[in-house]
Structure 1
């Protein structure tokens, strides 16, 4: 693939990379990966994401609290996120949202801190990155209630319907697809890949999770984002280079890069 790729969501700070993180990151240039956005999931990983972004020019960070960890959130942590987000390598607040599959935190607590972090993104005029698992309706309703003309961001590793994707796009959001679009039995992501306007599409790996075919079952890495691009290209009947080009343009537009 001649065009460079952007992985819009990867957790290179994850402990699964502790043994070979530098090798993995340094190999990205040879694998045509131009930019990686590394979101935090709590205070520790947000700080780690910022440290990685400061070390490598092509890695950027997002800071925020994942719904799993919202039970640990408080105003002091929010203030630290506010300060971290002022770093010029921090592009967004995230990943934030709701997860009703695991329910690791009480749902009311999840909803409270999702709102508060959306408001932080608005205050700082930053996009935000949404984690949505089995919570489509509440996610959408909160996002709609908190919406302003400047609100924008990403539905990361999107798993909802085409119809819901269209509603998120109306709110100014991009739809990001990852490894599941390559899975043989994953019908909904394939439909989304076919139907979402290409000027609203992003690609990601969510490394080290959700490894695409044919590497499913192994640790995911940002270099495998090319398999996501290739599958979307196959579905849309265009070239992988076109997918890379258009998703790169979308990422740069969203983050003013």
Structure 2
């Protein structure tokens, strides 16, 4: 299994990293992609990617941080290019649910991340919450440049998913799909083709049932994978095989 989105620089994961990594390996995880959310976060990620061979990282600024950290396309490229184990750009995108940063800053940051990712030929790890229309408008503008899109922790509508599929996007399922009130999201992931599907924890957030209420960690991804295999009506081993293959294809692993 591969956890396509976690935050190993967040507590309690960072201070318990050796145990977290071992539990990840114990359940069969072969890669962990730890995601940058700020300039401070990236400093930790540069250390994390040297900690263990299963850890890879990204570089990016979360939309909530765009009032504090603003980067040009050039700076994103400069920070990402020197590191072979930095394999994605983000997380970036738009979030209008909370008013942590203004819309203009979010849009400017999102565009700079997209353009940097296209030049680097790396996937863009996209966060979108209460922003379907504007997220799609921005992504559609770049469709002729064939950006590699990954909708992280996807919770959007079926209509949004259909539009994003037309752009070639991949979709990552988090522990939210295990929640009792997630029937619409489960139906959306039933529709999304298996060849466009990945799995993630977004740990330490969004622990899946039966661990809801606890601090999440990568080893809990097995519960999400089991639920997704039920939704897709395939066996667990097939689900793991396909999502692993999709990750490796998207992130240019042979």
Alignment TM class, shorter chain as reference:
over 0.9
Given the alignment, which residue of 76, 81, 106 partners 2:76?
Answer: 81
TM-score normalised by L of structure 2: 0.95
Match of 1:239 in 2: 235
Asked if the contact 1:177–1:189 (Cα under 8 Å) also holds between the matched residues in 2, the reply is no
Structure 2 distance, partners of 1:189, 1:241, is 22
Task: Confirm or deny that 1:110 pairs with 2:80.
Answer: no
Task: Confirm or deny that 1:125 pairs with 2:113.
Answer: no
Structure 1 distance, partners of 2:162, 2:52, is 35
Asked if the contact 1:152–1:171 (Cα under 8 Å) also holds between the matched residues in 2, the reply is no
Which moves more between the two structures, 187-196 or 143-152? Answer: 143-152
Count matched residues.
252
Given the alignment, which residue of 148, 153, 175 partners 1:157?
Answer: 153
Given the alignment, which residue of 93, 97, 100 partners 1:97?
Answer: 93
Deviation at 1:223, TM superposition (A): 0.7
Task: Confirm or deny that 1:197 pairs with 2:193.
Answer: yes
Unaligned runs of 5+ in 1: none
Given the alignment, which residue of 134, 140, 144 partners 2:140?
Answer: 144
Asked if the contact 2:11–2:204 (Cα under 8 Å) also holds between the matched residues in 1, the reply is no
Structure 2 distance, partners of 1:78, 1:23, is 36
Structure 2 distance, partners of 1:118, 1:126, is 10
Given the alignment, which residue of 161, 164, 170 partners 2:166?
Answer: 170
Asked if the contact 1:159–1:188 (Cα under 8 Å) also holds between the matched residues in 2, the reply is no
Given the alignment, which residue of 208, 219, 223 partners 1:227?
Answer: 223
Structure 1 distance, partners of 2:216, 2:113, is 28
Match of 2:203 in 1: 207
Asked if the contact 1:130–1:155 (Cα under 8 Å) also holds between the matched residues in 2, the reply is yes
Match of 2:181, SS?
coil
Deviation at 1:79, TM superposition (A): 4.6
Match of 1:185 in 2: 181
